[in-house]
Amino acid sequence: MQTDTDSDSASVSTRSESSESNSNSQETCNTEDRTHSSMGFAEELNEAKELGRDMENVLDSAIQKLTALRNNQNLKETFTLINAFESTLLDFDALRGNGVTSSDIAFRTARASYHGLLTPLEKSIPVLTTARFDVEKVFNVFQEACGTIENMRRVVRDQFDRMSRFHGLTRLPDEILSLIFRARCSEPSKCKKVPFLLASVCRRFRDVARSTPQIWSFICTSWRNQEALKVRLLRSQEVGLEVEIGAAYYSGYTMDAEWLNTFLTLAGMHVRRWTSLKIGRSITTPGSLFDTLAQYLSSGDSFESLPRLHSFEISDLGEPETFFEILERCSPNLRSIQMDMTFKPEKTVKLPTRITRLDIVGNEGMGTGEINIHQFVAMLQSTRIEELLMTFDSDVSLTGYEIPEGEERGRQYTIQSVKRLSIEVAAEEFAEELADSLYFPSLEQFKLAVDAYPRDSDQDNTDEKDEEEDDFARVLDTSEKWFAGRTFSNLKSFSLNMYVESAKNNDGINLEGDSLLNMTRSCPILEDLELECTHWTESLLLPPLRSLTLKDVIIEDSWIQNYGKSLKEAGKLDSFQRLTLTRCKMGNVSLDETEWRRKLPDFGNKVIVIMDKIEAYIKSQSMPYRCMISYGPGSR
């Protein structure tokens, strides 16, 4: 039974592959849409003009009211009365005369003056009140006028932007439009409907989409639509195909044997165009289907040749050697393999001899569990790997590793061919044993990420700070083991990420002194160093470099200023090219590029600062409390 997503894909592909008459109908609809759009703009413009005329009449009326207020005789008399008010105030000193007769006369005179003064004042109040209401009406009219004008501006601006985009697309060469389409479909999850939707916009988009085979070159079993698959195979022409079998891009995905056979039959007709093949297993996929897949791929009729296959990815399969034997025989251009260490070989797994890149993922959740060091090394040495990527979590263990009595470490295996190495491990016993066992003397680039995650508080009642100190010590010790007693005479680039996930980064737990210097002493020609660390840094010592990159590093003291001074004194500052500070802080304070350069005068314009978006916004607004806000790891 097809899922809703499959139905959507079928609908899209059916519309896209309709007859020419339907295509013409689609174009007619698109033309009508553009006509309606033009009519809509004309109607909006006419409406705006009508509003403008209405506002002109309203403003004329408001001006007339204001003019009438200015010329109002009653208001003029009121203003005259107000101006003359002080001169008409009564002199009450006369009421304090000694004579009764003179006092009585003065009072009667004052009373008459009071009534004569109060009457015009009382008459002026309603006049002023009416004038105030008229002014408020005019003010409201002006406010409405401003709102109407702003709406008119928005309509005109939106229409202009729309016309600009349309005009830009009409002027854009088809070659550039094709590159935009390819960029939009660069990720597998976006490749399902987007090509069909692009081909349904208008005649030009359809022509460009159909003449851009790269956007149709991704096929996978999780998109269960036979017609859409045929369309992709046809429109991809002769470009290389990216094929995924067993990978799911939405929940609830299931695959039955009938659909798998259909997919393999159609895709197998173009097997000579396959450039990448990914074989995965979703949780809901029955294992028997992969037996069917293995039988199909093992048959000579299916895989006579894979001349363009460049990369191969396999997930959660117990016997990868079956596929490796096929790839060795049929894939002369295979260079990259990515796989999970879910198999536990009783014999050494031999990799295809032509590969130069190997990506290994191992975790207990995927069934890795144990790795035998002898078989693992034998697999790595079965071909000349130049780039090796390894990711292992804390639940993996190493077997076959033994330390002879009286020695500090076990046997060390040398792998000469690897030039680029990337390792991500948890700071556990497995990581230390792996570091003791493997030596890559030909390294040119080395990326090392060591993590420590919180332990179960029910099992460990140690103090939080003591626990964190122990975690950080394990991370640092694991990192140092990759360099202890080794020489990397070709290593030019080293990236170190030390991550400790603790409830709180406590004061006094710092990366300091010659910790990094001791590692880099093994690298006599090291040029580029990248450091990412969750703990504060203090009094760090570094060798002369060409570039230094710090990510999420909190600087406790002036060690980075001292490093600049040491480069200057040693005459190495001119050869130093770049200091990149990404989301770094001086203590609890985030600094922008100008502030960093002011604090690091020796580096000058070689300083490049990349701030957190929130922090950059706060800095741009010059908020007085910005120094109180702390983001990222290491916040105290």
pLDDT higher than threshold 60 for residue 154 = yes
Query: pLDDT per residue over 581-615, tens digit each?
Result: 998 988 888 888 888 999 999 998 999 988 766 55
pLDDT higher than threshold 60 for residue 164 = yes
Average pLDDT over residues 552-575: 91
Mean pLDDT over each residue of the chain, to the nearest integer? 76
pLDDT higher than threshold 60 for residue 240 = yes
Going from N- to C-terminal start, the domains of the chain cover 22-171, 346-441, 443-462+475-636
d(CA 172, CA 555): 49
d(CA 348, CA 344): 10
pTM assigned to the model: 0.69
Residue 588 DSSP code:
T
pLDDT of residue 5: 45
pLDDT higher than threshold 90 for residue 298 = no
* Residue scoring higher pLDDT (519 or 457): 519
d(CA 251, CA 282): 10
pLDDT higher than threshold 70 for residue 333 = yes
How far, rounded to the nearest angstrom, does the alpha carbon of residue 383 sit from its chain's CA centroid?
A: 36
d(CA 199, CA 220): 20
Lowest mean pLDDT among 113-117, 269-273, 627-631: 627-631
d(CA 212, CA 215): 6
Query: pLDDT per residue over 199-238, tens digit each?
Result: 888 888 899 999 999 999 998 888 888 899 999 999 999 9
pLDDT higher than threshold 90 for residue 529 = yes
Average pLDDT over residues 372-389: 90
How far, rounded to the nearest angstrom, does the alpha carbon of residue 60 sit from its chain's CA centroid?
A: 54
pLDDT higher than threshold 80 for residue 343 = no
Query: pLDDT per residue over 314-331, tens digit each?
Result: 876 566 777 788 888 888
